[in-house]
Every structure is written in C-alpha cells, then in structure tokens.
A and B are shown apart, each in its own frame.
Chain A
C-alpha cells in the first residue's frame, strides 16, 4: 500500500515550457488536492477534486489545470511555466474532509 505517490521528484523547466506533475493514490479516497509550498507563504491550495469528473479551484489556481478521470489519478498541468511557479508541489488524498495524506512532493524550478 503505497499511499500517495508523486512523480517526478525534481524537475527543471525553462520559461514557457509545459509539463504534467503526476499524482496517484491507492487508498480509494474521493478527495484529492494539490498544494504549493513556498518559503514564508506556507501551503496554498491550487486545485482540488471531490471525485472522478469533479474538480474545483483553490486559492492559487492561475497557470494550472487539472482533470480527474479516475479515482486514483489527479495530474496537475502547467501550461506555460513561469519563474513564479518555482515551488514545491504536494498532492494529498483523503476520505472526504477527514484525515488527509500527503505525497512526498515534487520540487520544480523554472528558469
């Protein structure tokens, strides 16, 4: 039982490039979410999903897209990377709004 997995662990992008951060969970949880963590800013919610086919915006959604075609996967897409998106990205999963379990994170640098 792996819990929440994220790939890649590290990524360097050039400004304007696109990429997808992968998140998968094997706990059959309905609720999944993406956060970014920046020094001095704490963790901020980007997008979340309450089940397959249902997504919604969080606090800082601009520049990011998500989709949820299965219960297990919740990828985060950066359409045109900007230096302001340099951050550590965490995916989380939970049964509704009960205990949330976090993945190990993806450290992204945009040059």
Chain B
C-alpha cells in the first residue's frame, strides 16, 4: 500500500523567506502527484499536478519537483507572504489518491 509522509508537520518562517515543503512516498509506480493548499475550515485547493513522466511543474511563485526513483516530491514557494499561511498537502496516485498528513505553514510579517 502506498504511504505518503510529509515532514515537517509544521513550519514557521518570516515573510520573504523561501519555503521548502517535502513529500515522500513509498511506491515509485505513481501515476501523478498533486499538491493542495487547505485554509482553516475550508476545502482543498489544487496547486500543482505533476504527471509521472514530468520532473517538475511551475505556477507563479510555486515550483514542484518529482523524483520517482527516490520517492520524493518537493514544493518550493518563493518569497513567502503572510497569505501563504495554510496547510499544504501532497497526494500520490498509483490508482486512488493517497494523502500525506500535511505541513502547516505560518508566514510571519
């Protein structure tokens, strides 16, 4: 069974610093990997989707990489802002989506 791990569970950074969020998965035969953002009491917002044939995806200040051989994906958020404060979740899909527990990010002004 695919297991997805996100470390650290929580992260606090000052505004302007770059954020690096890690996601590990045990089964390298994934179909794709998706990063989500969740604000308190809200649903999940899709940020980036990386297909298994891709190594990275970029959207604005966000960049996600995928290394299937090592079972890792990393989400980079450049020049963090207080509005980036949220919980970030990754989910791997070899079949059905398997979620990590998330990293709670606080960006302090």
Is A16 close to B, CB under 8 A?
no
Q: Are B101 and A102 in contact (CB under 8 A)?
A: no
Identify which of B21-29, B41-49, B60-68, B74-82 touches chain A.
B41-49
Interface of A is mostly: strand
Total number of residue pairs linking A and B with CB closer than 8 Å: 47
Inter-chain CA distance A92–B38, complex, in Å, is 14
- Sorting the interface of chain A by its residue count into under 10, 10 to 19, 20 to 34 or 35 or more gives 20 to 34
- Sorting the interface of chain B by its residue count into under 10, 10 to 19, 20 to 34 or 35 or more gives 20 to 34
Name B's A-contacting residues (CB within 8 A).
Answer: 31-32, 34, 36, 42-46, 49, 89, 91, 93, 95-97, 99-102
Cβ contacts A to B, 30 pairs, < 8 Å: A33-B96, A35-B99, A40-B101, A41-B101, A42-B89, A42-B99, A42-B100, A42-B101, A42-B102, A43-B89, A43-B99, A44-B99, A45-B96, A45-B97, A48-B96, A90-B43, A90-B44, A92-B44, A92-B97, A97-B32, A97-B95, A97-B96, A98-B32, A99-B49, A100-B46, A100-B91, A102-B36, A102-B43, A104-B42, A105-B43
